[in-house]
């Protein structure tokens, strides 16, 4: 069993400031990277800032586990007037995921940008990459509803630009980025409208305050409309079926680096915020909330899990397959959320981490292959396991975790989700997850069959094993999926503690 406190070494001064440093250092790094004289310097800044951010996230996680909840008041202005960062186990878990995957992705970017992005854009690209990280970490750390909007926009605007940069390799990145820009902006607008309604009703933007006041208010139309706007707006960001239209294009078109970061963290951060609103900000057990969970969230999640799995089965391009799979997996996560109890949320949080790691592994492996073959269609990947065995094995580990193979984290994640569904008496949810898993086996089977068992088509470009700078982060990611499959105490503790906090009796 890992004890979190032993994992990091930070001086007391740093620990006290860790929540804000985790956000500000990547933000400052972004400015520095933009002004960097060369692509190489920008890359080094990016790695250093991401690593520092991850270290701070670790410090925050340790503190959050010890203290239960960590409140950091910005600028000395006390809430409700000032803005406070407020991190519990759930936020700490998300912060760790973002910091960890961000660091590995930053290391990976050294080689992959050269192949996929025009040279003159490298410094700006690294700046955008750090902005996205800063925004995502801010989103999961903040305790202020409007501040969350700001961070949401910081990360989103960075993302739109970074997806568009993928046009060097695939011209379709441009319409995909535009599509994402429009839908993302609509989503963010919905969110801010919802927050506006809530502000009008409660007179506060601080989430804790808001929750306390909403608990005493009657369920007015304004509050309900606010809830609906917030959920719909975040639903776009979280790629909740059927608001996921932007995702396959953005994941498939953007540079590999962005697919890695987005797939692992972006939708997860939005889901995290939704969970926060659904169970912490809004009072639990209202008729409106229950109706939403039973009649909107659960059916949509189930439909997404099945429909998008089928789309993944029939997709022809590999990255698009994985992207559809991501939407389907978001459906699984929401199914766990719709159980509306600590077991379900805990299982969903765990699933988010598992899914983040496995998808990051798969996209990074494809990025490693993209260094030597610019392939898109599944058929083009035939037989790459012979030329690039390490990359292919890492991909297979991610895929195995996706399927839910025992001894990977994905298995424990599915197990937890199904167990929570059965324990809550929602057997149909367990059945949907099982059915979705079978579809997953089919499309993952197609990928593995092509990579490992088919002979390369004659005349196709030959894949090469990626350089060590790419292999190292890739193998670390794949290793994490296995490590947490054998000893899941770290994510398990955090997700359980986080879920339990949502449901403890409040004064």
Partner 1 sequence: MNMGELLIVLALGLPLFAAAVIYAVGRMPDVRETLTLVSCIGLAVVAISIFVRVGQGQPPELMVTQPVPGLSIAFRAEPLGALFAVMASVLWGVNSLFSIGYMRGRREANQTRFYMCFAIAMFGVMGIALAANLFTLFIFYEVLTFATYPLVTHAGTPAARRGGRIYLITLVGASVLLLLPGIIGVQAVAGSTSFVAGGLLAGRVDAVVGSVLLLLLVFGAAKAALMPLHGWLPAAMVAPAPVSALLHAVAVVKAGVFTVLKVSAYTFGPDLITSLPAATWILWVGAATIVIASLVAMTKDDLKARLAWSTVGQLAYITSAAMLPMASGLVAGGLHMVFHAVAKITLFMCAGAIYVATGASRVSEMGGLGRRMPWVFTAFLVASLGIVGLPPMAAMWSKLLLMTAAFAGGHWVFAAALVASSLLGLVYLLPIAFRALFPPLGEPAVREFVRPGGTPGASVIAVCATAAGCIVLFFLADGLANYLAPIRAVTIMEGAP
Mind giving me the DSSP string for 50-95? HHHHHHHHHHHHHHHHHHSEEEEEGGG--TTTS-EEEEEHHHHHHH
DSSP 119: G
- By CB under 8 A, residue 441 contacts partner 1: yes
Residue pair 250/180 in contact by the 8 Å Cβ criterion? yes
Considering only 485, 499, 501, 502, the residue that binds partner 1 (CB under 8 A) is 485
Closest C-alpha to 260, from 63, 502, 478: 478
- By CB under 8 A, residue 500 contacts partner 1: no
Considering only 68, 175, 374, 406, the residue that binds partner 1 (CB under 8 A) is 406
Q: Torsion angle, CA of 372/375/380/384, rounded to 10 degrees? A: 30
Q: How many CB atoms lie within 10 A of CB 493?
A: 18
Smallest gap from Cβ 452 to partner 1, in A, equals 11
Smallest gap from Cβ 374 to partner 1, in A, equals 30
Residue pair 146/188 in contact by the 8 Å Cβ criterion? no
- By CB under 8 A, residue 217 contacts partner 1: no
**How many residues belong to the site for partner 1 (CB under 8 A)?**
27
Task: Give the binding range for partner 1 (CB under 8 A) out of 153-161, 170-178, 194-202, 488-496.
Answer: 488-496
- By CB under 8 A, residue 418 contacts partner 1: yes
Residue 486 corresponds to which tokens in the numbers above?
């054998």
- By CB under 8 A, residue 67 contacts partner 1: no
Give the 3-state secondary structure of residue 341: coil
- By CB under 8 A, residue 294 contacts partner 1: no
- By CB under 8 A, residue 431 contacts partner 1: yes
Closest C-alpha to 344, from 435, 227, 425: 425
Nearer to partner 1, 317 or 419 (CB): 419
Nearer to partner 1, 31 or 431 (CB): 431
Smallest gap from Cβ 23 to partner 1, in A, equals 31
Residue pair 138/151 in contact by the 8 Å Cβ criterion? yes
Query: What span, in angstroms and rounded, lies between the C-alpha atoms of 275 and 231?
Result: 9
Considering only 24, 193, 423, 476, the residue that binds partner 1 (CB under 8 A) is 423
Smallest gap from Cβ 229 to partner 1, in A, equals 36
Nearer to partner 1, 190 or 484 (CB): 484
Q: Report the interface residues with partner 1, using CB under 8 A.
A: 404-407, 412, 414-416, 418-419, 422-423, 430-431, 434-435, 437-438, 441, 445, 484-489, 492
């Amino acid at each position: 069993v890992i004890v979190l406190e032993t994992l990091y070494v930070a001086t007391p001064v740093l620990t006290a400031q860790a929540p804000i440093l985790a956000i500000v250092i990547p933000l400052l790094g972004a400015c520095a990277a933009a002004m960097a004289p060369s692509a190489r310097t920008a890359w080094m800044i990016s790695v250093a800032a991401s690593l520092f951010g991850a270290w701070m996230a670790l410090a925050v996680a340790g503190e959050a586990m010890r203290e239960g909840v960590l409140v950091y008041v910005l600028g000395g202005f006390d809430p409700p007037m000032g803005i406070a960062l407020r991190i519990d186990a759930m936020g700490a878990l998300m912060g760790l995921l973002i910091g960890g995957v961000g660091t590995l992705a930053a290391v990976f970017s050294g080689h992959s940008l050269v192949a996929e992005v025009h040279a003159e854009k490298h410094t700006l690209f690294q700046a955008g990459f750090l902005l996205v990280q800063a925004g995502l970490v801010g989103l999961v750390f903040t305790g202020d509803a409007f501040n969350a909007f700001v961070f949401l926009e910081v990360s989103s605007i960075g993302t739109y630009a970074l997806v568009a940069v993928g046009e060097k390799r695939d011209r379709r990145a441009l319409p995909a980025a535009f599509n994402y820009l429009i839908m993302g902006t609509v989503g963010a607008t919905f969110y801010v409208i919802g927050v506006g309604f809530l502000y009008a009703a409660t007179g506060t933007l601080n989430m804790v305050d808001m929750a306390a006041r909403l608990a005493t208010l009657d369920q007015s139309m304004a509050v309900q409309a606010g809830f609906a706007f917030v959920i719909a707006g975040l639903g776009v960001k979280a790629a909740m079926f059927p608001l996921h239209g932007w995702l396959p294009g953005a994941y498939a078109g953007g540079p590999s680096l962005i697919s890695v970061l987005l797939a692992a963290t972006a939708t997860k951060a939005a889901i995290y915020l939704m969970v926060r609103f659904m169970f912490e900000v809004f009072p639990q057990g209202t008729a409106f909330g229950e109706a939403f969970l039973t009649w909107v969230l659960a059916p949509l999640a189930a439909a997404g899990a099945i429909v998008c799995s089928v789309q993944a089965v029939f997709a022809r391009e590999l990255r698009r397959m994985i992207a559809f799979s991501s939407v389907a997996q978001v459906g699984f996560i929401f199914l766990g959320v719709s159980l509306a109890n600590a077991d379900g949320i805990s299982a969903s949080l765990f699933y988010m981490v598992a899914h983040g790691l496995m998808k990051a592994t798969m996209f990074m492996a494809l990025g490693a292959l993209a260094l030597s073959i610019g392939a898109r269609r599944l058929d083009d990947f035939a037989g790459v396991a012979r030329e690039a065995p390490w990359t292919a094995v890492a991909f297979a580990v991610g895929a195995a975790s996706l399927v839910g193979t025992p001894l990977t984290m994905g298995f424990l994640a599915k197990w937890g989700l199904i167990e929570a569904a059965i324990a809550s008496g929602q057997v149909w949810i367990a059945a949907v997850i099982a059915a979705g898993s079978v579809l997953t086996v089919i499309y993952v089977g197609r990928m593995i069959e092509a990579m490992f068992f088919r002979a390369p088509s004659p005349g196709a470009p030959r894949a090469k094993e990626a350089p060590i700078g790419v292999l190292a982060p890739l193998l670390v990611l794949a290793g994490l999926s296995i490590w947490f499959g054998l000893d899941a105490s770290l994510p398990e503790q955090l997700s359980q503690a986080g879920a339990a906090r949502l449901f403890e009796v409040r004064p």
